A = this chain, B = another copy of it.
Amino acid sequence: MVRVGIMGASGYAGGELLRLLIKHGGVDLTFATSRKYAGEYVFRAHPNLRGITDLQFVPNDVSNVAGLADLVFTALPHGESLKYMPSLVSSGLKIVDLSADFRLKNADDYETWYGYKHPLPDLLEKFVYAVPELNKEDVRKANLASSPGCMAITSILAMAPLMKEWGANIDKRHVVVDAKIASSGAGGKPSIATHFSERYGVVRPYKAAGHRHTGEIEQMLSRLAGEKVTVSMSAHAINMVRGILCTCHLFYDGDIQTSDIWKMYRAVYSGQPFIRLIREKKGPFRLPDPKVVIGSNYCDVGFELDTHGRRIVALGAIDNLLKGASGNALQTMNLMLGMDEKRGLEDAPLHPV
């Protein structure tokens, strides 16, 4: 059986990877590293996993772990993957990186969005930016993959059909992404901003402009549209622990009807197991809402045509720790290993929760 390991398994994405890999059945989880929890049971960091596994964390030491796996997930903090990657890559492992360190293909974009000069520009092109719904064959062939940012993948999947099928008619200079995100996206480290009494009930525009996922979204949408797309993104922290909704406002020229847009979404997403197209005429859940994807790898996608402002509202909803992180990473692994991409990811969402 293929052996897999996780570097950086004590964070929230690492915890979800552990949960998913333990029940996957097709791979052998051989190690999970953590600087902070080395030597402790994984349930110290992830209390839900008590009784599920006896695994203990080991230190973040590449020399010790490289021989223990055929594929490694790196779920380290941004900037940390960079340090371990040359050694990991040279050991010939397959790698799925969950950090931002290898998402952008143009090294200059790291200066724009992250404020630093990327130290390993040559490695960037070797990583496939994995959105399996859009580049499945590339992912299948990849040895090195980079899983997108949580708000990036949501926005990309919400808008991809429009950009791909009708990009010439979309106003590519005025694309607004208004993102609403739960607390777990900010990780597990306490601060005054994440202190319950201060964080509860907020609608906090914590990054009204300049969010780093903007670069990823532009990179992918530009590729799909065949032309430069400028994204104007604002990110808001809201009162929940899991989930993202991205509301993408696009302006168009020309004439279009709802049924035409439907066709574009169907054309692009037909057969994709983790995309659900949502447009209902009754009930409380008529358009995508993260409430009904929690616990699953779904990205619910929908849209509304607004002829008044010549606007299309494209919506995407995910569980940020699954399709926005560990779920997409596992789907990527499945494809890289030649397995069914759904394996280990077939759980229905929980409802109500």
Contact = CB atoms under 8 A, between A and B. Distances in A.
A309 interface: yes
26 contacts: A47-B283, A47-B351, A173-B309, A176-B311, A188-B195, A189-B195, A192-B283, A194-B196, A196-B241, A198-B284, A200-B240, A200-B352, A203-B290, A204-B284, A204-B285, A205-B315, A208-B304, A209-B308, A210-B306, A230-B309, A232-B308, A236-B245, A238-B239, A242-B352, A295-B350, A347-B347
Interface residues of A, number: 95
B351 A48 contact: yes
Interface of A: 12, 15, 19, 22-23, 44, 46-52, 171, 173-174, 176, 178, 180, 183-184, 186, 188-206, 208-210, 214, 230-232, 234, 236, 238-243, 245, 247, 249, 251, 276, 278, 283-296, 298, 304-306, 308-311, 313, 315, 317, 346-353
A136 B94 CA distance: 46
Given A23-B347, A183-B200, 17 more contacts: A48-B351, A49-B348, A178-B178, A188-B195, A190-B190, A196-B241, A197-B241, A200-B291, A201-B240, A201-B290, A205-B304, A209-B308, A234-B304, A236-B247, A239-B239, A242-B350, A249-B249
Q: Could you say which of A242, A276, A285, A348 has the most chain B C-beta atoms within 10 Å of its C-beta?
A: A348
Contacts of A291: 200-204
A308 B184 contact: no
Tell me the number of copies of this protein. 4
A191 B190 contact: yes
Contacts of A188: 192, 195, 197-198
